[in-house]
Amino acid sequence: MAEKANLAKSDFLSSMSHELRTPLGAILGFAQLIESGTPPPSSSQKRSIDQILKAGWYLLELINEILDLALVESGKLSLSMEAVSLPEVMLECETMIEPQATKHDIKVTFTPFDMPCFVHADRTRVKQIVINLLSNAIKYNRAGGTVRIDHSLTLPNSIRISVRDTGAGLAPEQLSQLFQPFNRLGQQAKVEEGTGIGLVVSKRLTELMHGEIGVESTVGQGSVFWFELKLTAKPLLAAHAAEPAALTSAQGEGDAPLHSLLYVEDNPANLMLVEDLIARRPDIRFLSAQNGIQGIEIAQALRPDVILMDINLPGISGIEAMRILAKDPATAHIPVIALSANAIPRDIEKGLEAGFFSYLTKPLKVNEFMVTLDVALKLSDLEAPCATHKEET
């Protein structure tokens, strides 16, 4: 009964995380729209918008943490295990953590690697663990303190990453309560925010990657949080040599031929947000449909250049609608971009495997959306058959 209750709780958290992302998408989307609008907001308006965006993105982080915990505890989290370069990961984490360290006046030092070092792990989850440990070491440090990240080989055939801080340290009774969900060890009295589930998620992730995690601490001197992962051989091909760093935005010129975008979405706020974004692009005509069947009919009749598709639609799902369009010779060439609040990596992988050109998650990041849209439009121009060329309207 306890196991069933725990599974029900995890399923509930996963469902609620999805539901929370939908209204949050409208908040962050329209805030970005106002921030980048013309004329630009006044200085006082800009301060207010910055606060909305700061709070919104932070709320999204909390929702993602709860979703991670629910997925791990329900056994539904999928990992992409591969040979991961630790020096590369550490360099990325150093860049990501620098703004937080500067804000808290904490000096962070990464011990360099003398040679290539690869672990058998999920690259994204390794970064998540490192960033979580670094973030805690910075938040609960003393003003002007330091954080040092070291590495050392351990037996058998493992490497230990240690994050050492100069904070207040933890008493033995506090150490026994670590890695428990929602337990912030009395830090509620401080101004630092958080759910208190970052460490337990890090522990679960480390164990799923067949590693270990632990802590050593002395009151008044600081703490050392560490995790160990198995070493592996260097991959034959660089696993990340072809990351999409070369994507460039190709905003339409004033005399560019008219393109059209069809957005299939049943949420009015999401429709309005994308419509307002497309209104800034004079080279794109906006079309909309509120369910999959209607979207298919419009796509077959008007042959848009790009289709933006929600996943959870009334009637048939976005995946089903996309597959129907892919089987029709008249619409098979049209790039279909998924835009969904289903942000679980497994859902994203499933969507890409089903045939979506790209998979964007809500809340929408405006710059990412525009870049993806431009790439899709270029592909559409290349692949559109001459017989389906549309006249400007």
> With contact defined as beta carbons under 8 Å apart, do 222 and 165 qualify?
yes
Q: In the predicted model, is pLDDT for residue 245 greater than 50?
A: no
Domains in the chain, please, with CATH?
Answer: 2-74 (1.10.287), 81-184+193-232 (3.30.565.10), 259-388 (3.40.50.2300)
**Reported confidence tier of residue 314, pLDDT bands at 50, 70, 90:** confident
Stretch 197-214: mean pLDDT, rounded?
90
Average pLDDT score, the chain: 82
60-69, 118-127, 216-225, 354-363: least confidently modelled range: 60-69
What does the pLDDT read at residue 254?
A: 46
Cβ atoms within 10 Å of 107's Cβ, excluding its own: 13
What does the pLDDT read at residue 110?
A: 96
Stretch 60-69: mean pLDDT, rounded?
76
What does the pLDDT read at residue 392?
A: 42
Q: How far apart are CA 310 and CA 372, in angstroms?
A: 16
β-pairing, 222-232 vs 212-218, is antiparallel
What does the pLDDT read at residue 173?
A: 82
Nearest to 370 by CA among 276, 229, 256, 257: 276
Stretch 29-35: mean pLDDT, rounded?
89
Q: In the predicted model, is pLDDT for residue 249 greater than 50?
A: no
55-69, 127-141, 235-249, 329-343: least confidently modelled range: 235-249
Query: CA angle 62-64-14, nearest 5°?
Result: 115
**Reported confidence tier of residue 235, pLDDT bands at 50, 70, 90:** confident
Q: In the predicted model, is pLDDT for residue 389 greater than 90?
A: no
What does the pLDDT read at residue 158?
A: 94
